[in-house]
A and B are shown apart, each in its own frame.
Chain A
């Protein structure tokens, strides 16, 4: 083994929220290492996938406390950054495509402004040049008429268009690390596959590291190299993506069995019977 520094190291990451006296341990001792590869995170709703992604980018809200024995990008410790230092990492070096695109987009800003704003902060370019670049990004994510869409506000976009605008806004800065949280859930399968192809190329050709959080097991199995499975804030299984169909943990097996299939009709779907032992 060569001693290269991994792109991202996460060790013993825990996140706890306190709301009105109720304590939620959203993430418990999560560890993983990411190279210039595609890592999938799957797991049930509320298992801490998004919170893990947000913690890596320093985006956990103030009432949440984050701890880790290591959190590093290219060997640089991220644990004690000030807000100002975080903002220099985010956008330029690491980016997050958030779940719920419409909520993450600014409702009173046009698509053009949302895509170009962050980018222009880091680069000296003219408005016309930025606009051209933004239109090209929209075209890359299969938006038919970028010129029209650049002028729209978020409420005028369809669900899948909002999601692609968000992806375009994050990719324009060419980050080293991209966390895509449910980034294709609002897209039709053809456009969804095109977005997967873009992410795939960025990893293969530019050496970007990708964390792909998704409920879509077919997409994860097709795109990713490795998969971690979360349950109750913990990583319960890690396997090669190609082996996902043969995963061993009972929760992962139950997940696979719960999906409806186009080939074989099923009267009712298997539901996951949760075992308290999975939490220990």
Chain B
């Protein structure tokens, strides 16, 4: 993709009031438009919801975007969501970047609205800067060994092992003690049904 003209789309999320309550999202969106290589900026109430995702897909096609920046929450929650979203629109999922303007901005600077807005702008700027250097990547696929290990033979371990085995999988159940049963086996009757524990 090197040599190709950069066409970056920025999607600013209000997250209801979670972001917009502190950060002036309109200002962030307007600022994003001034950044080099940014050809489309769209603001959404909830970017992660279906309508928001559809906007991204539409914009990728309409504006021939080759980089997508979403300014919303932490990548820990929605990076997989948005990677899938851009992939659905035919873009390599690694050409997507996230600016965390919620956990790392609006939620932690609730009393400094002006400064939080400035920070949000810069977080977007930084994400765009990184996005310029993103490259498409192909994920390797590895086979899965068809067996599960359950560590601990208390009531939870036993239940997990049985469910997995009943679902047709090979299960290894490792218990430290000489017998399975755990704490449950030492209880007499358990609430709420008051029946015997084992």
- Say if A and B assemble together: no
Where the two chains meet, the residues of A that have a C-beta atom closer than 8 Å to any C-beta of B are: none
